[in-house]
Amino acid sequence: MKWLTRINPLSWFRGAPVQRDITYDQLAQLGLVPARVGGETGPTSAAEAMGISAVFCADRVIAEDLASSPMCVYGGHRLEEGAKPLYDDPVTQLLARPNPEMTGPVFWSQFQHNANIWGFAVAEIARDGAGRPRELWPLESHQVRIDRDGYGRLTFEAPEYSAPVPSGRYVKLDAADVLFLPGFTPDGSVGYQLLNTARMTFGMAISAQRYGTARFKNGLNPSGVIEHTGVLSEPAANNMRNSWRALYGGAAGIGTPMILEEGTKWNPFTLAHNDQLQLAELCEWLVDEVARFFNISPVKLHKLGRATWSNLEQLNRDHVTTTLGPWIAKRDAEIDLKLLGPGRHCRHITDRLLIADTQTRFAAWNAAITGGWMKPNEARAREDLPPEPGGDVLLRPLNSAPAASPAKPTTTPEAPNDGPPGTDPARAAG
């Protein structure tokens, strides 16, 4: 196993050489061996883990929610200083259409999927002659080699492709030309890989699925004993077993009346009802376990529990802030660093994920418009309605005035006095 030992040659100039043994998990990261999940299933692939409904749902919800949140470049240093969206900025257009073959939702969904499962996501930045980003191309995370050089800086190596297949060689990528999104990481580089970190939970879920599948395949009740008064030869026993399995085995054979031959008796092994409940409880518990690994609410995995329509809006808000918030912060920071210069920053727009019911939305727009801090056309844009003439003006409440300016006294015009001087018009009219 000495060929699996790497020696850093730069350490010769710093003292004693440093040896690091490559672990099985690191080999799996390089794509040299299949990633292992654990449990009774042994090593498995990401495809098997995605066969767990809770894993598939959690990964899809996070990836597609982030992909459905458009990104825009804002001018200014901070949002508090009145930063304005730059819809025509080249980077805004790049984020919406990363490359000629992929739309924004497709690219960012794949990008986030790699980060969810493999612990990090990588995309190569293609620049023009002036160094400006022009295209983004996703890379398969499990095929990218990530390490640190002698100065502690991250290095990236991606497989070189000849036509549609890899050539077996790796090319080095400049870190400045790599859009890198790590997950929750212990060392600032590669995040924890769920295929390894959650291998016991994933393995248990796979075992539970196989157990349930075998149960329904062999019949809702477990096997029993076919008792015969005589002595059966091996061929006769096999024939009887196969005929019984063909007639009464599987889910289709449940409830089929049995016709017993002379001297034959069926003694079933009855399944305790508690065993069925334990299997159902195990499946529900596994949903909670998977949700914890993905930092997502079980409600988003369609395990409603005590969720009601009244608290659905609050659950969505918690999903955006708790589950998506850390990913959004890291994505924005990486885009600012690799794609934008000073004075510009990226921001995810998550308004669509926080849409409330119709009555609540309309009440909020009405309060914002009459309060004088939102324009009518801005509210119409939130509802995907076209602008109206005169709708780009802030309305000022009649009973509101700036605190620094004193209110002007209101005066009523006096009625004309056509009488002699000193005569009261009201008395004269009387």
Cα–Cα distance for residue pair 38/50, rounded to 1 Å: 15
**Count: domains in the chain:** 2
Residue 90 near residue 156, CB atoms below 8 Å:
no
Strand order in the sheet with 178-182: 133-139, 120-127, 178-182
User: Are both 315 and 378 inside the same structural domain?
Assistant: no
| pLDDT top residue among 35 and 61 | 61
Cα–Cα distance for residue pair 10/17, rounded to 1 Å: 8
User: Are both 348 and 389 inside the same structural domain?
Assistant: no
User: Are both 308 and 389 inside the same structural domain?
Assistant: no
| Nearest one of 106, 140, 137, 107 to 124, comparing CA atoms | 137
* Structure-token match 């329509």, residue found: 309
User: Are both 301 and 392 inside the same structural domain?
Assistant: no
User: Are both 92 and 37 inside the same structural domain?
Assistant: yes
Please give the structure tokens belonging to residue 371.
């309060």
- Beta strands, E only, 300-350: 344-348
| Nearest one of 396, 322, 280, 332 to 91, comparing CA atoms | 332
* 12 confidence band (pLDDT: 50, 70, 90): very low
How many residues can be counted in the chain? 430
Q: Is 390 left (phi over 0), alpha (psi -120 to 50) or beta?
A: left
User: Are both 61 and 116 inside the same structural domain?
Assistant: yes
Strand partners, 346: 73
User: Are both 41 and 123 inside the same structural domain?
Assistant: yes
Residue 41 near residue 208, CB atoms below 8 Å:
no
User: Is 156 contained in some domain?
Assistant: yes
Give tens-digit pLDDT for 376-412.
998 888 887 888 998 898 887 766 655 455 555 555 5
| pLDDT top residue among 79 and 153 | 153
Cα–Cα distance for residue pair 113/107, rounded to 1 Å: 10
User: Is 119 contained in some domain?
Assistant: yes
User: Are both 369 and 303 inside the same structural domain?
Assistant: no
Half-sphere exposure of 10 (CA within 13 A, CB side): 5
**Number of DSSP helices (H) and strands (E) in the chain, helices first:** 14, 13
User: Is 270 contained in some domain?
Assistant: no
| pLDDT top residue among 153 and 94 | 94
In Å, what is the CA distance from 389 to each residue of 99, 362, 369, 375?
Answer: 37, 20, 15, 12
* Structure-token match 């809006």, residue found: 313
User: Is 129 contained in some domain?
Assistant: yes
Beta strand pairing call for 120-127 and 71-75? unpaired
User: Is 381 contained in some domain?
Assistant: yes
Is pLDDT at 74 greater than 70 in this prediction?
Answer: yes
Strand partners, 52: none
Q: Which amino acid is at 373?
A: W
Cα–Cα distance for residue pair 429/394, rounded to 1 Å: 46
Crossing angle, helix 199-218 and helix 273-294, to 10 degrees? 150
- Give the model's pLDDT for residue 122: 95
Residue 252 near residue 244, CB atoms below 8 Å:
no
Instruction: Please provide the distance, in angstroms rounded to a whole number, between the alpha carbons at the two ends of the chain.
Output: 119
Query: For the residues of 284-305, what is the DSSP string, one character each?
Result: HHHHHHHHHHHT--GGGGT--T
| Nearest one of 271, 268, 261 to 225, comparing CA atoms | 268
User: Is 275 contained in some domain?
Assistant: no
- Give the model's pLDDT for residue 236: 77
- Give the model's pLDDT for residue 149: 86
Is pLDDT at 258 greater than 80 in this prediction?
Answer: no
Cα–Cα distance for residue pair 160/140, rounded to 1 Å: 12
| Nearest one of 171, 44, 181, 2 to 107, comparing CA atoms | 181
- Give the model's pLDDT for residue 25: 54
Is pLDDT at 35 greater than 60 in this prediction?
Answer: no
In Å, what is the CA distance from 130 to each residue of 89, 133, 185, 416?
Answer: 16, 9, 34, 78
User: Is 73 contained in some domain?
Assistant: yes
Strand partners, 296: none
User: Is 104 contained in some domain?
Assistant: yes
| Nearest one of 130, 158, 143, 85 to 348, comparing CA atoms | 85
In Å, what is the CA distance from 214 to each residue of 56, 233, 252, 281?
Answer: 22, 28, 14, 18
% of the chain exceeding 90 in pLDDT = 34
Dihedral (CA of 12, 14, 19, 22) sign:
negative
* 139 confidence band (pLDDT: 50, 70, 90): very high
Is pLDDT at 428 greater than 70 in this prediction?
Answer: no
User: Are both 348 and 374 inside the same structural domain?
Assistant: no
Strand partners, 166: 161
User: Are both 34 and 96 inside the same structural domain?
Assistant: yes
Give tens-digit pLDDT for 163-196.
566 667 889 999 999 999 999 998 888 889 988 8
| Mean pLDDT score across all residues of the chain | 78
| pLDDT top residue among 230 and 262 | 230
User: Are both 391 and 340 inside the same structural domain?
Assistant: no
State which residues form the domain around 107. 23-218+296-355
- Give the model's pLDDT for residue 6: 35
Cα–Cα distance for residue pair 75/73, rounded to 1 Å: 7
Cα–Cα distance for residue pair 153/270, rounded to 1 Å: 63
- Give the model's pLDDT for residue 167: 66
Is pLDDT at 37 greater than 90 in this prediction?
Answer: no
User: Are both 148 and 106 inside the same structural domain?
Assistant: yes
